Amino acid sequence: MTTYVYRHGKLVPKHLAEPLVTANGAPNVISDTMPETRHMANNQFYTSKAKFRAATKAAGCIEYGSEVATLLKPRKPAILDRGKRREDIRRAIYDLRNK
């Protein structure tokens, strides 16, 4: 069964019809430049995405959202015994009162 579409007010077989929208043939370019951004690890300003990412890696940090394996790994819960927990709470209260 043939499918028809409207082109210029006439029904035309779909396989013979020209597309309604044609791309202009221009490539899509993602620029390396960005607004001046301060890097929190080294306190320098960068306008290059590549240099910003290199500084992140050099500081031993990860860019949130780019490390899927790290983000999907389940965290191990911190296991504290009752005595350790009490001692940590006492120490925190002492630090708050004496500072």
Full pLDDT tens readout for the chain, 99 residues: 889 999 988 999 999 988 887 777 777 788 999 999 999 899 999 999 999 999 999 999 888 765 566 656 777 887 878 999 999 999 999 999 997
In a domain? residue 90: no
In a domain? residue 43: yes
- Split into its structural domains, the chain has a count of 1
In a domain? residue 51: yes
In a domain? residue 12: no
For residue 63, the enclosing domain spans 31-71
Which region, left, alpha or beta, applies to residue 15 given φ > 0 means left and ψ of -120 to 50 means alpha? alpha
In a domain? residue 66: yes
In a domain? residue 77: no
In a domain? residue 2: no
In a domain? residue 59: yes
Does the predicted model carry a pTM greater than 0.85?
A: no
